Amino acid sequence: MFSFKRIRSLVGMLVLLAPTAVFADELSAGDTAWMLTATALVLFMTIPGLSLFYAGMVRSKNVLSVLMQCFAITSLMTVLWVVCGYSLAFGEGNAFWGGFDGMMLKGLTVDSMSGTIPESVFMTFQMTFAIITPALMVGAFAERMKFSSMLVFMSAWLIVVYAPICHWVWGGGFLDGYGILDFAGGTVVHINAGIAGLVAAIVLGKRNGFQQTLMAPHNLSLTVMGAAMLWVGWFGFNAG
């Protein structure tokens, strides 16, 4: 009789604790806290890190232009990522793109999970990559592209190039099916931005007065400060 009571009590405790155990398996407070920190660090790499890095490299008359480009890219990519970028990159479309079923974050709720973290945190973390990747290209066409043209180009590039490639590698696309490994953005960010920057530089050509006018960096102190911020932010970029 005594054993039966003990067993019954134990079963009752397990029933009461079951929801807590399931929840603990789904949501990790530690993982969530780190991903929020990593998200802030990656955003810190773009504004102010990358902004200051490029601002120090250009001539004094173009400092505000480069700063404004980085800040505008941050704002524009944030809006586009919420509207359709996240859906194209991480939707369930097909092997080549995610589709538009998740536009405006449709289906993302406070209870949505991505692994052991809320999907909203995952979406925001991935948004910071969608911000810094086009911002990396600013140095390739610095002083040679109109502000309005830059906004149009970056918008089209995010939708047509970045989001599909992100889906191929990180969103379960066909490259992911081949077993590609990309833990720190080597393909999605660096190769992607590098090729796009090279093409943009070739298409736009050399700066007016190249090799005839002195084009020394405006302020290398800003560049060093920006590089230091990039270095710190890299811990979130690589380990997030």
Round to whole Å and give the CA distance between 9 and 15. 10
pTM to 2 decimal places: 0.86
Q: Which residues contact 95 (CB under 8 A, 6 or more apart)?
A: 168, 173, 174, 177
- Beta-carbon neighbour count of residue 173 at 10 Å? 23
**What pLDDT score was predicted for residue 33?**
97
Where on the phi/psi map is residue 188: left (φ > 0), alpha (ψ -120 to 50), or beta? alpha
pLDDT at 17 > cutoff 90: no
**What pLDDT score was predicted for residue 215?**
80
**What pLDDT score was predicted for residue 21?**
38
**What pLDDT score was predicted for residue 66?**
94
pLDDT (tens digit, 9 = 90+) per residue, 208-223?
Answer: 777 777 788 889 999 9
* Residue whose tokens read 């970045």: 162
pLDDT (tens digit, 9 = 90+) per residue, 28-77?
Answer: 999 999 999 999 999 999 999 999 999 999 999 899 999 999 999 999 99
DSSP string for 56-104: HHS-GGGHHHHHHHHHHHHHHHHHHIIIIIHHHHHSSS-SS---STTGG
Lowest mean per-residue pLDDT among 2-11, 89-98, 125-134: 2-11
Distances (CA, A) of 138 to 55, 141, 147, 154: 10, 6, 11, 10
Sorting pLDDT into bands at 50, 70 and 90, what band is 179? confident
Element (H, E) at 118: strand 117-118
| Contact assessment for residue 236 and residue 40, using Cβ atoms and an 8 Å cutoff | yes
**What pLDDT score was predicted for residue 213?**
78
Round to whole Å and give the CA distance between 124 and 83. 13
Residue 203 CA, distance from chain mean position: 26
| Contact assessment for residue 32 and residue 44, using Cβ atoms and an 8 Å cutoff | no
CATH superfamily of 28-239: Ammonium transporter AmtB like domains (1.10.3430.10)
- HSE-up of residue 198 (Cα within 13 Å, Cβ side): 6
pLDDT (tens digit, 9 = 90+) per residue, 129-151?
Answer: 999 999 999 999 988 899 999 99
Distances (CA, A) of 123 to 93, 146, 240: 17, 31, 13
